[in-house]
Amino acid sequence: MVINIISGTLTHLQACNDAYVNSRLGQVYSPPEELFKSRLAEGINKGHIFVAVNEDHQCLGFIWIELRGVFNQFPYCKLLAVKEQFRSQGIGTALLNYFERVSFSKATKTFILVSDFNQRAHQLYKRLGYTDVGLIPNLFQEGVSEHMLMKLKPEKDVT
Ligand SMILES: CC(C)(COP(=O)(O)OP(=O)(O)OC[C@H]1O[C@@H](n2cnc3c(N)ncnc32)[C@H](O)[C@@H]1OP(=O)(O)O)[C@@H](O)C(=O)NCCC(=O)NCCS
């Protein structure tokens, strides 16, 4: 499948919402839909959300990037979700590759959080070279710990 990664617009709002809501992550955190959509709209309006689209301009998933989201210095992937029917086709990896391209043009380290129940996403990040640097208990929700993962800019890219 040919996909392009482009800046998200409000026309992608519903698809981004669906990608997140139809996941264990969305079910565990389950923000009220209108609240979640208003947060997404804010991310879109700030230019922080990028979407993967196919040849038909259909939105398949998104990534939310805050370039100084960690310690006001390092890039942070705030959210990543692919629509359920398009998972396991490399779209999440493509969105993460995009995140790293943007991040490593500005910084030497990049960060992501993953919930303790989200082993598949955790494995994906480890496969892509992220390492665990900490565990934060009860961060967003009582009873759920978040692993903090970091990736270093590859040596070959260090100038
Ligand atoms: C986590 C998530 C974003 C990953 O996206 P994805 O598009 O499924 O990821 P990829 O396809 O790049 O890689 C995932 C798997 O597909 C496999 N894969 C990658 N490219 C593939 C391809 N072209 N064909 C078949 N399989 C492929 C990978 O080996 C990987 O294997 P796994 O099933 O053991 O994990 C997605 O599962 C998701 O949206 N989950 C719900 C929300 C969520 O939990 N987000 C993470 C927040 S931290």
Indicate if ligand 1 lies below 6 Å from the C-beta of 81: yes
Question: Can you give the pLDDT at residue 156?
Answer: 79
The pTM assigned to this predicted structure is: 0.95
Measured from the Cα of 84, ligand 1's closest atom is 39
Pocket test for ligand 1, best of 53, 82, 123, 125 (most atoms within 8 A of CB): 82
Residues contacting 95, CB < 8 A, separation 6+:
5, 50, 52, 61, 62, 63, 80, 82
Count the alpha carbons within 13 Å of 70 in the hemisphere toward its beta carbon.
Answer: 18
Question: Can you give the pLDDT at residue 140?
Answer: 96
Residues contacting 148, CB < 8 A, separation 6+:
111, 112, 113, 132, 133, 134, 135, 136
What is the Cα–Cα distance from 128 to 103, expressed in whole angstroms? 15
Indicate if ligand 1 lies below 6 Å from the C-beta of 95: no
Q: Any idea where the domains of the chain sit in the sequence?
A: 4-157
70-98 per-position pLDDT tens digit: 999 999 999 999 999 999 999 999 999 99
Q: Which of 68, 150, 152 is nearest to 111 (CA)?
A: 150
Indicate if ligand 1 lies below 6 Å from the C-beta of 88: yes
Ligand 1 centroid vs 4 CA: distance in angstroms? 17
Determine which residue's CA is closest to atom 33 belonging to ligand 1.
88
Contact status, residue 6 vs residue 50, Cβ threshold 8 Å: yes
Task: Please state which CATH class domain 4-157 belongs to.
Answer: alpha beta
Question: Can you give the pLDDT at residue 155?
Answer: 84
Question: Can you give the pLDDT at residue 158?
Answer: 63
Indicate if ligand 1 lies below 6 Å from the C-beta of 118: yes
Indicate if ligand 1 lies below 6 Å from the C-beta of 60: no
Indicate if ligand 1 lies below 6 Å from the C-beta of 23: yes
Question: Can you give the pLDDT at residue 1?
Answer: 85
φ, ψ of residue 48 in degrees (nearest 5): -95, -10
What is the Cα–Cα distance from 57 to 155, expressed in whole angstroms? 35
Q: Which residues of the chain have pLDDT under 70?
A: 157-159
Contact status, residue 20 vs residue 81, Cβ threshold 8 Å: yes
What is the Cα–Cα distance from 95 to 79, expressed in whole angstroms? 11
